[in-house]
A and B are shown apart, each in its own frame.
Chain A
């Protein structure tokens, strides 16, 4: 079966800075794949290109057999890719429920149907009791949940999660991992950027490692943590030289 997502030779330059350089990988339907790498490695840039917020300088991105690298974010959403934002982008002056209704309206014109779906999603994501809060009044942990809920409401086939666990307490992190499992159980393919390795290792089928814009490793969690280049990228050259 053809992969759900194919990223081929993708490069992204920002006036001088190369955020991604000739990156290649595939994601198959039903997988949970994690994308890791040090700060500034180009993870968020890669997500933004897949989701259509940025377009690659060169290379191709194919989703479900369709070239999407030139498409706009709203079109890609309709094709079935949803993303959360690392720096949360909740709709601040709208309620939690309204935030999620907006997402659900991507699949229906009826506010009534969208409301029903949004309420279900809020139950799944554990935000139901706060449905009438304004977005801006949520705690960071809840804003991160709302990011997930909004994305989920667009009924994606592929969900891109950008550091939804950053800044969470251990208890909240465990809850977040549970939520990931639940979402995966709905048949949604997950592509996750995360720094909290302990949390993400056990649920990932595969891990892709970026460093300074380049893919330096790919494999099962065990393979990746034992990879020379990965250790070097995370701990730095000097440490590596001395050891």
Chain B
């Protein structure tokens, strides 16, 4: 227990100092994307990995976060920090509305419904002049400051902001996992009828999972808008983004606390590198690699990287002849 805490503190310290030592802008950019996707994926995992409701529409919430803060800023000069929280609340409301019909569906039908709803909302934004339509919105440059959520001379502040946001999201997941909510989410994932028979209002708890997930995803969206200083429906709410959020979690291990971070650590550098190495001619090539990785994982290690590490730890303990309390291993 204590050993884990020390490990975590050391890891956070390393993450804090890393970009101070190695300052290449591209490197920091990749780090920012890693934590951004880890955060969105961690948020997704609450409803996908823990509660077992596979949403391929979480980009909607990402987009809602980006649009809410941007529009509030453009029209009423509201700081993106407040816009971020308002975006979270709007996303929760949308999640409740979307969840109402979607949660009536099970398994693949739920998944398909989330894709459909995501595409409808994106198309709506594409054709809605008041929110910039297909042209999107450029966020006007202001003096760089924390309050304005704008930094022009260095990417470092963005890195520290997303690192902090990720850690907060991770802590939310951690406390959810340890609490009644976590047990209830998993029970719903494992067997909805059994969960109901044990007194769980499954519909209500699916909404709770979806709402927390939507709130955190929207926050990630606001961050992305401020980082790019430009938003349009195809960059903040495309189906590809929803897919990427899911793939990161699948690769890392759904329903494992460290899954999203592990998945993001592997997938994001890979996709950014192929993008850089192959240029625009290779656009889409990272998708091929994604596809391959996901196929390999689902064939050989369906529990993802986190599940694999747990299994490896377990075998190591067993080989050392130590007391194995487990048989709790997924294989």
Residues of A near any B CB (own CB < 8 A): 51-53, 72-74, 77-78, 82-83, 85, 89-95, 98, 101-103, 105-106, 109-111, 114, 132-135, 137, 150-151, 153-154
| A98: contacting residue among B183, B197, B202, B329, CB under 8 A | B183
Which residues in B have their C-beta under 8 angstroms from that of A103? 198-199
| A106: contacting residue among B178, B191, B198, B325, CB under 8 A | B198
| B183: contacting residue among A105, A133, A137, CB under 8 A | A105
Which residues in B have their C-beta under 8 angstroms from that of A134? 327-330
- Asked if B165 is at the interface of the complex by the 8 Å CB criterion, the answer is no
CB distance from A142 to the nearest CB of B (A): 12
Separation of A9 and B198 alpha carbons in the complex (Å): 27
Q: Is the CB of A74 within 8 A of B199?
A: yes
Which residues in A have their C-beta under 8 angstroms from that of B327? 132-134, 137
Tally chain B residues at the interface, Cβ within 8 Å.
27
Which residues in A have their C-beta under 8 angstroms from that of B255? 93
Q: Is the CB of B186 within 8 A of A91?
A: yes
Beyond A132-B325, A132-B327, A133-B328, is A73–B197 a contact (Cβ under 8 Å)? yes
- Would you give the 0/1 interface string for B166-206, flagging 1 where the beta carbon is closer than 8 Å to chain A? 00000000000011100110110111011111111110000
B190, B193, B329 — most chain A CB neighbours (10 Å): B190
CB distance from B81 to the nearest CB of A (A): 32
Which residues in A have their C-beta under 8 angstroms from that of B190? 91-94, 135
Separation of A154 and B198 alpha carbons in the complex (Å): 6
- Asked if B279 is at the interface of the complex by the 8 Å CB criterion, the answer is no
**24 sampled A-B residue pairs with Cβ under 8 A:** A53-B193, A53-B196, A72-B201, A74-B196, A74-B197, A74-B199, A77-B196, A78-B199, A82-B198, A85-B194, A89-B194, A91-B186, A91-B190, A91-B191, A93-B190, A102-B183, A102-B195, A105-B183, A106-B198, A106-B199, A111-B179, A132-B325, A134-B327, A135-B190
| B196: contacting residue among A73, A95, A137, A150, CB under 8 A | A73
Q: Is the CB of B196 within 8 A of A102?
A: no
Closest to A73 in B: B196
Q: Is the CB of B197 within 8 A of A83?
A: yes
Closest to A147 in B: B194
Separation of A123 and B290 alpha carbons in the complex (Å): 47
| B326: contacting residue among A52, A89, A102, A132, CB under 8 A | A132
| B197: contacting residue among A82, A132, A135, CB under 8 A | A82
Beyond A89-B191, A93-B330, A132-B325, is A77–B184 a contact (Cβ under 8 Å)? no
Separation of A90 and B200 alpha carbons in the complex (Å): 15
Which residues in B have their C-beta under 8 angstroms from that of A150? 194, 198
CB distance from B207 to the nearest CB of A (A): 14
Closest to B327 in A: A133
Which residues in B have their C-beta under 8 angstroms from that of A111? 178-180, 183
CB distance from B191 to the nearest CB of A (A): 5
Separation of A73 and B188 alpha carbons in the complex (Å): 14
Q: Is the CB of A85 within 8 A of B198?
A: no
Closest to B190 in A: A91
Which residues in A have their C-beta under 8 angstroms from that of B200? 74, 102, 106
Which residues in B have their C-beta under 8 angstroms from that of A93? 186, 189-190, 255, 330
Identify 9 new A-B residue pairs, CB closer than 8 A, beyond the known A74-B196, A110-B180, A114-B180.
A53-B196, A53-B197, A73-B196, A77-B198, A90-B191, A92-B191, A98-B183, A102-B187, A135-B190
Which residues in B have their C-beta under 8 angstroms from that of A105? 180, 183-184, 199
